[in-house]
Amino acid sequence: MRVDLGIFAHDEGATIGRMVAGVLAQDRGGLDLRVLVLANGCTDDTAARARAAGAEVADLPEGGKSRTWNRFVHDLSRSDAEVLIFADADIELPTPDTLLQLVALLQARPGLHVANSRPVKDIVARPEGLGLQDRLIAMAGGTLDDWRTAICGQLYAMPAARARAHHLPIGLPVEDGFLRAMVLTDGLTAPEDLSRLDGAGAWHVYASERSIGALIRHQVRIVIGSAINSAIFETIVALPPDQRVGVLRSAAEQEGWLPHLLHRRLPRWPQGWVPVHFLLKRSQNLLRDRRRLWAPKGLILLVAGFGFDLIVYLRAQIQMARGTGAGYW
């Protein structure tokens, strides 16, 4: 089976060598695996370090993950590749068969569009010697999304033919959330079908933010990106179904498509720039999970989580109103 692995790397010179070495050490189990580092918009030596580590490199002058996703899927992957794997450059593969497990899940479940790897924070994978703040951060993991039904952009696999059915607008701050909606709804033309996403034994480790300030900044970016995705979805759904795929294909080619849409759609009365759903999501998930809620630390997590989300929500509203937001648009 031909499998193309795209490693998304923007100024990752410090980590790319370790990531490439980890990928090349994976058990291929007979896979025809091509490892392609997508060095996009880099100002450091990411491309040189990736080549030195033994990877093929596409040195792309323009950055942006959604733009790079389109390039990998539609231009740079092999036309006869059967599976595409998407990976960030700063993760660890703790088991030697991580990639094989992703491919095996797609083979065993022909109806799957995405095979997810379970994201595990380094402070969860290696909990020795953690302070109180780190333990609280570790405890809060998994309270926003179910990893099996949410695409984590750090590591996932798709049948190549299914991936090529999608085009992502240039400049998305949260491209994995956008892709999830496209996968579940055939480009917003059908009701959500959660059976298209799943995960099995594959997992990876990522570096957790270790301070409250860094966590807030990270989550503000996620919330802003998700609010932008919501505005795009509303725009696309308002179009006749037979026009939606064509509009998204154009959005993947036009630099100004997303900024123009946002100027027309946001802010909205009465919620402003960010839907209130993003303030309440964690609390609602915890309230539904009664076993976790009534555990000894459950109420602490509920109160602390809501306070954190309130700060994030207000900062996201302010940043978008000031035009600083998450970046690309």
Average pLDDT over residues 56-82: 97
* Main-chain dihedrals φ then ψ at residue 57, nearest 5 degrees: -130, 135
Residue 321 clears pLDDT 50, i.e. is over it: yes
Q: What is the distance between the alpha carbons of residues 323 and 329, in angstroms, rounded to a whole number? A: 9
Q: What is the distance between the alpha carbons of residues 239 and 312, in angstroms, rounded to a whole number? A: 32
Least confident range of 87-91, 132-136, 259-263: 132-136
Q: What is the distance between the alpha carbons of residues 320 and 276, in angstroms, rounded to a whole number? A: 14
Question: Which domains are delineated in the chain?
Answer: 2-322 (3.90.550.10)
Out of 1-5, 187-191, 270-274, the most confident range is 1-5
Residue 48 clears pLDDT 80, i.e. is over it: yes
What region, left, alpha or beta, does residue 280 occupy, with left being phi > 0 and alpha being psi -120 to 50 degrees?
alpha
The per-residue pLDDT for 193 is: 96
Cβ–Cβ under 8 Å, residues 90 and 206: yes
The per-residue pLDDT for 139 is: 58
Q: Which residue, among 40, 61, 39, 64, has the nearest Cα to 50 in the 3D structure?
A: 39
What's at 191, amino acid-wise? P
Tokens standing for residue 169: 């607008």
Cβ–Cβ under 8 Å, residues 101 and 145: no
The per-residue pLDDT for 136 is: 60
**Which pairs from 211-217 meet CB under 8 Å and 24+ separation?**
211/133, 212/133, 212/308, 215/137, 215/308, 216/308, 216/311, 216/312, 216/315
Q: What angle do CA 2, 65, 91 make, to 5 degrees?
A: 70
What's at 54, amino acid-wise? G
Question: pLDDT tens for residues 210-255?
Answer: 677 888 888 898 889 888 999 999 999 999 998 998 999 999 999 8
The per-residue pLDDT for 141 is: 56
Pairing label, strands 114-121, 91-92? unpaired
Q: What is the distance between the alpha carbons of residues 318 and 310, in angstroms, rounded to a whole number? A: 12
Average pLDDT over residues 258-271: 86
Cβ–Cβ under 8 Å, residues 201 and 102: no
Q: In what order do the strands lie in the sheet with 155-159?
A: 56-60, 32-40, 2-9, 83-88, 155-159, 114-121, 197-206, 91-92
Percent of the chain having pLDDT more than 90?
Answer: 60
Average pLDDT over residues 272-276: 87
Q: Which residue, among 161, 149, 146, 143, has the nearest Cα to 198 in the 3D structure?
A: 149
Question: pLDDT tens for residues 283-298?
Answer: 777 777 766 666 767 7
pLDDT classification of 104: cutoffs 50, 70, 90: very high
Range list of H helices, the chain: 16-24, 46-53, 65-71, 98-108, 122-125, 132-139, 160-163, 175-185, 212-237, 241-251, 257-265, 277-288, 290-293, 298-322
DSSP string over 98-160:
HHHHHHHHHHH-TT-SEEEEEEEEHHHHS-TT--HHHHHHHHTTTSS--TTTS--TTEEEEEH
Pairing label, strands 91-92, 155-159? unpaired
Give the residue with greater pLDDT, 328 vs 61: 61
